[in-house]
Amino acid sequence: MNTPLLSAAMLAGLVWLALAARYPRQVAWFVLLWIPVQGWFQLNVLNDSSTTVLIYEFQMIGIYFVLGIKALRSPQRYGPPKEVWLAAPFVVWALMLIPYSVEANGALVTLLGLRALVLPLPLVWVGYRAFENRRELKNVATMMMLQLPIIALVTAWQFMQYTTSSGRAFELPLGFSDVGILRPPGTFSAPGHLGMYVLFAVPVGIGLLGLTVNAVIRTIFSAGLVGATVALMVNTQRATMVLLVGVLPLMVLLARKKHAVRNVLIAFCVLGAGAAIGGRVAGQAFSARVASISIDVQNSLINIPLERITDSLRTPVVGGGLGIAAPGAARVNVPLGMKLLTPAASIKPSESFTAALIFETGVPGFLLFVVFIATLLFRGLRALRRCRHTDLGLLAAAVVAFEVAICLQSWAYDPLHFPPSRVVFWFWAGALLSFPRLAATRAAVSSPSLKRTLAMPVRRLRRPPVPAAARRSAS
């Protein structure tokens, strides 16, 4: 890296730290809103540099640093939830594997493994402290929903345009195709990343319709849900479509309230409107992709994942070392002793996150990771039960359903390896734990009797007057 660029990067880092120190929650919101458009900037503004994907990770590190300092000063306001400490056994195991991984694969590949598996985990902490009240949650959700129609517009326009080698705003970058069917990435850097984000956006968009908001905000939520549907149909991510068919009914079962079911029915009408628009843009391509699901289901969900799991179990105790199944590891040539390690001979496929986890950390690491995920799901369900009688209940059910979808998708694919799912999964798992606090705040403020009590001026207590007869008898 040349000196001017390095100086600019250092200056940007210092500015980011200063902003994080002054506005810790707001910069976390920025990262959440940066993820859906990061790929577009990577392709169009930053000339598709592979290092630009690290921008959001440096932003995360800055947030961790600032939150850590603030937590020491004010643990009740900025401290991590106790659920975060449940990741400690997995983190300790991964750190114990560093010497073995460095010897087997080199320091750079080991660093890639830590970056993929350990670096995102504190996002649970960030999500837990991201919102102090329902107004902040509503504002961030509104901005997220406003992004989705823009993403859908870009995706649809890319689908209707020709393929070019440039990355201009509404043209499809070269190479994004699948069996003759264009699969535009929208504002992301890869088609699969858009599908991962839509898997989050659809259930959460339905959950947001359960919030008590005004007509304008509700219209924005509906527009975002339409945009997510259009983007999904044009992008034709089959795994996302199959998972949504399963998790949306699960979300209704988790909500279990009449008002929640009513909002879900309204959301299905909105989804129908989005499907009608998407069908006009990519009707034939979408139908062809849906028809191909039954052809590939055996290989995609059974044969290929089982082959990878079997391969990963050849070294069940410590795996093959951190990083050998991490994204980007296959592009790294790592000096090992006196010879050059050939990535093709040592790097394992990472499309199945379950197999990748065993490849890198062995069966013990896999089990420790599963325990952490299961605990987050259990605590999330407990938070959902506490929010079920409030307007946050449907949104809490949507986040739980999304978490279940990611766990299912990790069997055959690798959603926790890439920015869209990796960020939103851990962030919203932590935000879900804070929902009971946000719901309790609204319940307290919305109580008329409590409002009157809080509005009463504080007066000095006076003794009641003593009757004259009582004074004479006392004397």
User: What is the separation of C-alpha 168 from the centre of its chain, rounded to a whole number of angstroms?
Assistant: 27
CA-to-CA dists, residue 50 to 39, 43, 68, 343, 459, angstroms: 11, 10, 29, 18, 65
pLDDT at 89 over 50: yes
For 194-244, how does the pLDDT look when each residue is reduced to its tens digit (9 = 90+)?
A: 989 999 999 999 999 988 889 999 999 999 999 999 998 888 888 888 898
For 173-192, how does the pLDDT look when each residue is reduced to its tens digit (9 = 90+)?
A: 554 554 445 678 888 888 88
Q: What is the pLDDT of residue 150?
A: 93
Strand ranges for 394-446 from DSSP E: none
Let me know if residue 231 belongs to a domain: yes
- Of the candidate ranges 40-44, 78-82, 171-175, the one whose mean pLDDT is the lowest: 171-175
- Of the candidate ranges 166-180, 251-265, 411-425, the one whose mean pLDDT is the lowest: 166-180
pLDDT at 452 over 50: no
CA distance 95 to 110: 10
Let me know if residue 465 belongs to a domain: no
CA distance 8 to 64: 22
**Confidence category of residue 145, pLDDT binned at 50, 70, 90:** very high
Q: Which class for 79: exposed (0-12), middle (13-18), buried (19 or more C-beta within 10 A)? A: middle
Let me know if residue 464 belongs to a domain: no
Q: What is the pLDDT of residue 384?
A: 93
Q: End-to-end CA distance of the chain, in Å?
A: 94
287/456: higher pLDDT: 287
Tell me, what amino acid is at 163? T
199: its two tokens: 């898997």
Listed in sequence order, the residues at least 6 apart from 115 whose beta carbon sits closer than 8 Å to its beta carbon are 57, 326
Among 40-54, 85-99, 323-337, top mean pLDDT goes to: 85-99
Q: What is the pLDDT of residue 457?
A: 46
User: Would you list the DSSP string of 386-405?
Assistant: HHTTSTTHHHHHHHHHHHHH
Q: What torsion do the CA atoms of 265, 239, 360, 310 make, to the nearest 10 degrees? A: 120
Let me know if residue 382 belongs to a domain: yes
Let me know if residue 56 belongs to a domain: yes
CA distance 131 to 26: 9
Q: What is the pLDDT of residue 344?
A: 42
**How much is the average pLDDT of 11-31?**
86
Q: What is the pLDDT of residue 442?
A: 59
pLDDT at 39 over 90: no
Of all residues in the chain, the percent with pLDDT exceeding 90 is 35
399/344: higher pLDDT: 399
User: What is the separation of C-alpha 235 from the centre of its chain, rounded to a whole number of angstroms?
Assistant: 19
CA nearest neighbour of 402 among 418, 387, 421, 379: 421
Q: What is the pLDDT of residue 445?
A: 46
For 312-360, how does the pLDDT look when each residue is reduced to its tens digit (9 = 90+)?
A: 888 888 888 888 888 777 666 544 443 334 444 455 656 789 989 998 9
Tell me, what amino acid is at 352? S
Let me know if residue 475 belongs to a domain: no
How many domains would you assign to the chain? 1
For 13, other C-beta atoms within 10 Å of its C-beta total 14
Expressed as residue numbers, the domain containing 219 is 3-444
What is this structure's pTM? Answer: 0.85
353: its two tokens: 């996150």
pLDDT at 369 over 90: yes
DSSP-based helix, strand, coil % in the chain, nearest 5: 75, 5, 20
Strand ranges for 324-441 from DSSP E: 334-336, 339-341
Q: What is the pLDDT of residue 460?
A: 44
DSSP-assigned beta bridge partners for residue 164: 173
351/408: higher pLDDT: 408
Q: Which class for 275: exposed (0-12), middle (13-18), buried (19 or more C-beta within 10 A)? A: middle
CA distance 210 to 262: 9
Strand ranges for 109-221 from DSSP E: 163-164, 172-173, 177-178, 181-182
DSSP 299: I
**Confidence category of residue 136, pLDDT binned at 50, 70, 90:** very high
Q: What is the pLDDT of residue 148?
A: 95
167: its two tokens: 């990355």
Whether residue 147 contacts residue 446, with contact meaning beta carbons closer than 8 Å, is answered with: no
Q: What is the pLDDT of residue 222?
A: 93
Let me know if residue 450 belongs to a domain: no
Q: What is the pLDDT of residue 226?
A: 93
**How much is the average pLDDT of 152-181?**
64
How does the average pLDDT of the chain come out, rounded? Answer: 81
341/26: higher pLDDT: 26
Let me know if residue 216 belongs to a domain: yes
CA-to-CA dists, residue 320 to 61, 97, 362, 461, 464, angstroms: 27, 10, 8, 73, 80
Whether residue 38 contacts residue 55, with contact meaning beta carbons closer than 8 Å, is answered with: yes
Q: What is the pLDDT of residue 451?
A: 42
CA distance 74 to 68: 10
Whether residue 119 contacts residue 57, with contact meaning beta carbons closer than 8 Å, is answered with: yes
Q: What is the pLDDT of residue 21?
A: 86
